[in-house]
Amino acid sequence: MERTCLAIILAAGESTRMKSATSKVLHPVAGRPMISHVVDALASASISDVALVVGRDADAVSAAATTDEVAVTSFLQKERLGTAHAVLAAREAIAGGYDDVLVVFGDTPLITAAPLKAARDGLAAGNDVVVIGFQTADPTGYGRLIVKDGALVAIREHRDASAEELSITYCNGGLMAIDGRKALDLLDRIGNANAKGEYYLTDLVEIVRSLGGRAIAVEAPEEELTGCNTRAELAYIERLWQQRRRHELMLSGVSMIAPETVFLSWDTALAQDVLLEPNIVFGPGVRVESGAVIHAFSHLEGAHVRAGATVGPFARLRPGADLGAKSKVGNFCEVKNAEIGAGAKVNHLTYIGDAFVGAGSNIGAGTITCNYDGVNKHVTHIGANAFVGSNSSLVAPVSIGDGALVASGSVVTEDVPADAVAFGRARQEVKPGRAPILRERYEAEKAARKRARSAE
Ligand code: UD1
Ligand code: CA
């Protein structure tokens, strides 16, 4: 029979070292709270029973940890008395009776399914406690794993470690699996006689051994266990996350000329044969289909770029931008809440907002949809194969029919029917021979000013 499992996520820590008014686990990595990444890892390891230990921002933290794939019960840790004390806040859940109890930290967002599975495998092999460790060049701040003859003997917190123990580079990753039938008895034995006066979960190792039980450490990649305690570590975790995701995307068939300059969101979906030029930022909710090219220095958020479309350089796609197959949105263009039809071109210096542009239409340079009257937003509807001349203002609500032509420089305030030509500008006047006369007048004015200055 498959072993049952309860995961306990500890997320009640203060943000003292983050120096933030917001709870640490709500700080975003790749645009979403770090705790959501932890929950995702649990789900991908097929763990669905989750006890969440929260402190301040309890409601927001619970919301960030709630997904369709897991059943989350929140427990409030009123005082912050250490990691063992935090685990015991979920006493009721542990008492529910599980084969495996898995403790994970809300501040290690790079964790994946593999070490979670490894920890559970260690329990299935007959150990009472399994700790996931990692080797690091800089063990500062981490608990050190003391291993003898294949057994984990103790975990020594940095503050409590001797000089000799401090030189150990094998560290506690904060992920611990405990025999679920013994967990409460073991946890209740933990005291707080240490440098911080806290109830350390890590003391479980020595306790289980003193009772004749077995603890082991299993090594996992350092990257997955990197914890976040400061903003500097948050930026480091972001960097690691970005590197990992770029790599996955490139292996799945996405080309990146300078991957280190592309910034992805947790949910950025890029199909095979998408090409990304340097310096591109993805906000949340972007989907790019096969064969599309995103040119340099573009910013995309909440946008759908369909097959073969091109974006940028220097384009901004805002939420609701939907670019049809083989359409083009070029340099210094902004598109918001607008559909650009298949093959349509919006190539230069244009704002298309709250609009619909039909297939094959051409929107000239400098065209602006005037969608906002200061109070309400209005829609601009442009049909298929229409042509809007450069530097036109389309004052919404307004519609331009299929095949219609708008003369450049027009301010369009009335609907233009299909196949009509609309001029919305002052007529040009031409005065033959007038230029030399004007120029003479300007020269005379300039000379007069110069005389006045030298007379002062
Ligand atoms: C902890 C481990 C250390 C390990 C490191 C890995 C202990 C005693 N130490 O140290 O061995 O190397 O993580 O990152 O376990 N929390 C609560 N309530 C509390 C205290 C903590 O919910 O009362 C939560 C925090 O929100 C955090 C996690 O537990 O998510 C770890 O706490 P933190 O204070 O960051 O522990 P470290 O000092 O990093
Ligand atoms: Ca930590």
Domain shared by 162 and 278, yes or no: no
- Of 137, 130, 135, nearest to 225 (Cα)? 135
Position 406 pLDDT exceeds 80: yes
Sign (positive or negative) of CA dihedral 47, 51, 54, 57: positive
In a domain, 452, yes or no: no
Closest ligand 1 atom to 79 CA: 23
C-alpha neighbours within 13 Å on the C-beta side of residue 437: 4
Domain boundary among 225, 240, 263: 225
- Whole-number percent of the chain with pLDDT over 90: 98
Domain count, the chain: 2
Instruction: Give 22-66 as a DSSP string.
Output: S-GGGSEETTEEHHHHHHHHHHHTT--EEEEEEBTBHHHHHHHH-
Within this chain, do residues 58 and 78 fall inside the same structural domain, yes or no? yes
Pairing of strands 151-156, 262-263: unpaired
Crossing angle for the helix pair 34-44 and 58-65, to the nearest 10 degrees? 40
pLDDT digits (tens, 9 = 90+) for 251-268: 999 999 999 999 999 999
> What pLDDT sits at residue 337?
98
On whether residue 428 sits in a domain, the answer given is: no
Atom of ligand 1 nearest to the CA of 107: 30
- CATH for 114: 3.90.550.10
Q: Which of 105, 134, 223 to mutate to test the pocket of ligand 1 (most atoms within 8 A of CB)?
A: 105
Q: Do 127 and 189 lie in a common domain?
A: yes
Q: Are strands 28-29 and 32-33 parallel, antiparallel or unpaired?
A: antiparallel
The alpha carbon of 358 and the centre of ligand 2 are apart by a number of angstroms equal to 53
Same domain, 219 and 239: no
> Which of 207, 225, 243 is a domain's end point?
225
| Distance from Cα 80 to the centre of ligand 2, integer Å | 14
Residues 164 and 235 occupy one common structural domain = no
Q: Is 134 in the pocket of ligand 1 (CB under 6 A)?
A: no
Pair 164, 249 in one domain: no
In a domain, 437, yes or no: no
Judge whether 39 lies within some domain.
Answer: yes
pLDDT surpassing 90 at residue 83? yes
Cα torsion 194, 199, 202, 204 to 10°: value is: 110
- Is 200 close to ligand 1, i.e. is its CB under 6 Å away? yes
Residue 426's φ and ψ, nearest 5 degrees, are -65, 145
Residue recorded with tokens 């829609």: 379
For residue 54, give the ligand 1 atom closest to its CA.
Answer: 22
**Distance between CA 351 and CA 77 in Å, rounded?**
50
Residue 12 beta carbon below 6 angstroms from any ligand 1 atom: yes
In a domain, 83, yes or no: yes
Residue showing tokens 């933030």: 20
At 56 the pLDDT is: 85
Dump pLDDT digits (tens) for 384-395. Answer: 999 999 999 999
HEC assignment per residue over 74-132: EEECCCCCCHHHHHHCCHHHHHCCCCEEEEEECCCCCCCHHHHHHHHHHHHCCCCEEEE
Same domain, 291 and 418: yes
In the annotation, is 158 catalytic?
no
Helix locations, 226-277, DSSP H:
231-251
Identify whether residues 410 and 278 lie together within a single domain.
yes
261: CB partners within 8 A, 6+ apart: 278, 279, 280
Sequence-separated (6 or more) residues with CB below 8 Å from residue 171? 133, 134, 135, 136, 139, 142, 143, 144, 145, 225
Looking at the structure, do residues 61 and 155 belong to the same domain, yes or no?
yes
Looking at the fold, whether 198 and 86 belong to one and the same domain comes out as yes
**Active-site residue among 27, 37, 247, 348?**
348
Note the pLDDT tens digit of each residue in 265-295: 999 999 999 999 999 999 999 999 999 999 9
Task: Tell which atom from ligand 1 comes closest to the C-alpha of 172.
Answer: 12
Report the pLDDT averaged over residues 295-324.
Answer: 98
User: What is the torsional sign of CA 241, 246, 247, 253?
Assistant: positive
For residue 131, give the ligand nearest its CA. Answer: 1
Dist. CA 201 → ligand 2 center (Å)? 13
Residue 347 and residue 365 in one domain: yes
Q: How far is the CA of 107 from the centre of ligand 2 (A)?
A: 6
CA 230 vs CA 22, 23, 224, 237, 396: distances in Å: 13, 12, 17, 11, 48
Q: How far apart are CA 175 and CA 137, in angstroms?
A: 19
In a domain, 263, yes or no: yes
Which atom of ligand 1 is closest in space to residue 106's alpha carbon?
30
104 lines ligand 1 (CB under 6 A): no
**What is the pLDDT at residue 455?**
92
**What are residue 258's phi and psi, to 5 degrees?**
-135, 80
Which of 15, 36, 83, 108 for a ligand 1 pocket mutation test, highest count of atoms within 8 Å of Cβ?
A: 83
Q: Which pLDDT score, from 0 to 100, does residue 167 have?
A: 96
Q: Which amino acid is at 146?
A: I
pLDDT tier for residue 322 given thresholds of 50, 70 and 90: very high
Distance of CA 87 from the midpoint of ligand 2 (Å): 15
Q: What is the pLDDT of residues 166-194, one digit of tens each?
A: 999 999 999 999 999 999 999 999 999 99
Q: Is 171 in the pocket of ligand 1 (CB under 6 A)?
A: yes
Residue pLDDT, tens place only, 1-46: 799 999 999 999 777 899 999 999 999 999 999 999 999 999 999 9
Which of the listed residues 194, 225, 256 is the one where a domain comes to its end?
225
**C-alpha–C-alpha distance, residues 405 and 392, integer Å:** 11
What CATH number should be reported for the domain holding residue 254? 2.160.10.10
What average pLDDT is seen over the chain? 97
> Domain for residue 126, yes or no?
yes
155 CB within 6 A, ligand 1: yes
Give the domain extent around 278.
231-422
Asked, for residue 433, whether it belongs to a domain, the answer is no
116 and 197 fall within a common domain: yes
The per-residue pLDDT for 14 is 76
